[in-house]
Each structure stands twice: as structure tokens, then as C-alpha cells.
């Protein structure tokens, strides 16, 4: 028996669970499957509305009592590196960049494990095995690349970024680096290099994921010039980070059905406001 997928993506909401960024808060996500011939167009369109990709799923925070998570992107034309960022770029100028297809290797996984054990040993990905890692890298229905950074003298892999190529920029899905090179500020360097790649490719944005005011883990993103955040349905310049401290009240978050109804979809998905379901 043959079944056809509906034109309009179906949206779901996760059950509340502890927030990984802010203590004593609960997170909830609105998400939809990324599949079919229109996957690239859907990813492009929803990325411009604050969604992020994880394998074949697009998601956006939709917490009932908090609106702290804000999607962030750098406008490449407005970016000027700080003095400290110029030093980072100079310190790592010797690294060799290699762009490959989204295919996981044992070498990448070993680096990934060292990174997690050093920096995120108690995080949600701490128990990820090699098969789950391969799925994170390889399960992508869109244009994705793995960007490796190597020491040319030893050919040692020191950093990796899984990157999606969007219609309007590059989306840094996940990056990790060798903890032994922490003083090299490789996390900052990967972002700086993506800004360079995007600029050279004529792409106006580099998507960094979510910036969370009040979260030490996410504070570094506010240090990049030209940063925009997606807030109340529009991209706006970050300005003073202190202006975005999350405040909530009982009516601050629209109901899920209203959120879904306000999502713009590509032309091939003409029906808006698809039925949502709750997933645990």
C-alpha cells in the first residue's frame, strides 16, 4: 500500500524537561520533520524564522514560561573583528581547512569524545556512542558539509564543524575541537572562518544557533559584531545584551496553535497551521 506525505509539515511539541542553559527552568520545543523533496526549501525558510536543524528534525524553543533562547546570526557585511578576534585569527592562520561531505570518521569521533569529556561531561550528549555520532553527521536531507581544521605539520585533526548551506548563509549545526588547544580559542576561530567563507561565497549570514542572555555557556556569541537575534517574529540587531534579559508573564507566550499559524512555509507547502500534537 502506498502512502503520500502531506504537503504541509506537521508540527509537534515536546513535553517539558529541565533546561540545559538556565537553572530551575523547563524547556519545551516546537518541531517538525525535515523530509521529502522540499526539505531544502523548508530548512531555508524555517531557519529564517528561528528554527535549527538536528538530523532530520527542525526545532525552535517554545517554552511556556520563558523566552530567553533567541536565534542568533552574524550579518557578514556588518562584521568587523575585535582586536582579540584578530589575534585568534592570526594564532590559527596556519591551520588547514578541508571541506568534505557529511560522512563520519573514527578520527572525528575520537576528537568529539575528548571534547565532550573535557567540556560537557554532564551534558545531554555525554553518552553519545559512535553510531549516534554518525547519525548526527550523516542523517541530513539537505546540503551539509563537514569542515575539518588540521595542523598541516602533523596532519592532526584539531577542530570540526558540521555546517548546513542555506539559501541566505551558513548554519553552524555543531562544532567541536581538541581541548588541548583551548588557549588557541578554536571555537572563536571556527566562527571567524565561517564568516570568511560566507563572505567569500556571497552569503549574507552565518547562523550560530541560540543565544541565551544570562547563560554563561552562550555569552561568547554576543562578542561578535554584526550579530542579529530573532525576537518577536523579526531579526533585529543585538544592541546592548542587557536589553534582552528574559521577562515573562502569564500571557507572554502565544499558544502553540497560534505559533504554528504564524509560521511562513515554502510555496510547495501551501496550508498553514497544521495540526500539532504533544510528544513526550
Report pLDDT digits (tens) over 208-260.
999 988 777 788 999 999 999 999 889 999 988 888 876 666 566 788 888 99
Query: Helix (H, G, I), strand (E, B), or coil: what is residue 196?
Result: helix
Q: Are residues 121 and 224 in the same domain?
A: yes
Q: Taking a C-beta distance cutoff of 8 angstroms, is the pair 109, 133 a contact? A: yes
Residue 274 pLDDT class (50, 70, 90 cuts):
very low
Q: Are residues 20 and 46 in the same domain?
A: yes
Q: What is the pTM of this model?
A: 0.89
Interior/surface letters 210-224, b for 16+ CB within 10 angstroms, e for the rest: bbbbebeebeebbeb
The mean per-residue pLDDT over the stretch 93-118 comes to 95
With 0-12 CB in 10 A as exposed, 13-18 as middle and 19+ as buried, what is 270? exposed
CATH number at residue 155: 3.40.630.30
Distance CA 253, CA 251 (A): 6
What range defines the domain where residue 275 resides?
Answer: 11-68+247-279
Average pLDDT value for the chain: 88
- Which of these, 233, 244, 224, lies nearest to 73 by C-alpha position? 224
Q: Are residues 54 and 185 in the same domain?
A: no
Q: Taking a C-beta distance cutoff of 8 angstroms, is the pair 63, 69 a contact? A: yes
Q: Does residue 4 belong to any structural domain of this protein?
A: no
Q: Does residue 5 belong to any structural domain of this protein?
A: no
- Which of these, 178, 199, 185, lies nearest to 77 by C-alpha position? 199
Cell of 191: 566562527
Amino acid at each position: 500500500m502506498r502512502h503520500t506525505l502531506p504537503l504541509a509539515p506537521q508540527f509537534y511539541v515536546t513535553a517539558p524537561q529541565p533546561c540545559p542553559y538556565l537553572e530551575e527552568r523547563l524547556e519545551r520545543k516546537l518541531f517538525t520533520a525535515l523530509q521529502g523533496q522540499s526539505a531544502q526549501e523548508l530548512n531555508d525558510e524555517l531557519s529564517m524564522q528561528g528554527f535549527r536543524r538536528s538530523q532530520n528534525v527542525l526545532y525552535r524553543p517554545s517554552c511556556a514560561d520563558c523566552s530567553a533562547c533567541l536565534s542568533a546570526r552574524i550579518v557578514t557585511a556588518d562584521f568587523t573583528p575585535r582586536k582579540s578576534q584578530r589575534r585568534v585569527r592570526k594564532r590559527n592562520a596556519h591551520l588547514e581547512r578541508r571541506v568534505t561531505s557529511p560522512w563520519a570518521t573514527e578520527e572525528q569521533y575520537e576528537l568529539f569524545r575528548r571534547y565532550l569529556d573535557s567540556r560537557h561531561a554532564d551534558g545531554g550528549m555525554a553518552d553519545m556512542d559512535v553510531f549516534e555520532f554518525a547519525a548526527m553527521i550523516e542523517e541530513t536531507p539537505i546540503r551539509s558539509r563537514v569542515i575539518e581544521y588540521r595542523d598541516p605539520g602533523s596532519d592532526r585533526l584539531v577542530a570540526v564543524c558540521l555546517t548546513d548551506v542555506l539559501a541566505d548563509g551558513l548554519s553552524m549545526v555543531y562544532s567541536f575541537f581538541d581541548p588541548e588547544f583551548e588557549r588557541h580559542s578554536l571555537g572563536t576561530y571556527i566562527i571567524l572562518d565561517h564568516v570568511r567563507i560566507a563572505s567569500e561565497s556571497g552569503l549574507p549570514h552565518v547562523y550560530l544557533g541560540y543565544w541565551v542572555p544570562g547563560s554563561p555557556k552562550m555569552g561568547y556569541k554576543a562578542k561578535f559584531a554584526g550579530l542579529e537575534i530573532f525576537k518577536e517574529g523579526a531579526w533585529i540587531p543585538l544592541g546592548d545584551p542587557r536589553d534582552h534579559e528574559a521577562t515573562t508573564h502569564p500571557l507572554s507566550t502565544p499558544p502553540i496553535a497560534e505559533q504554528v499559524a504564524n509560521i511562513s512555509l515554502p510555496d510547495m507547502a501551501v496550508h498553514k497551521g497544521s495540526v500539532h500534537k504533544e510528544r513526550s
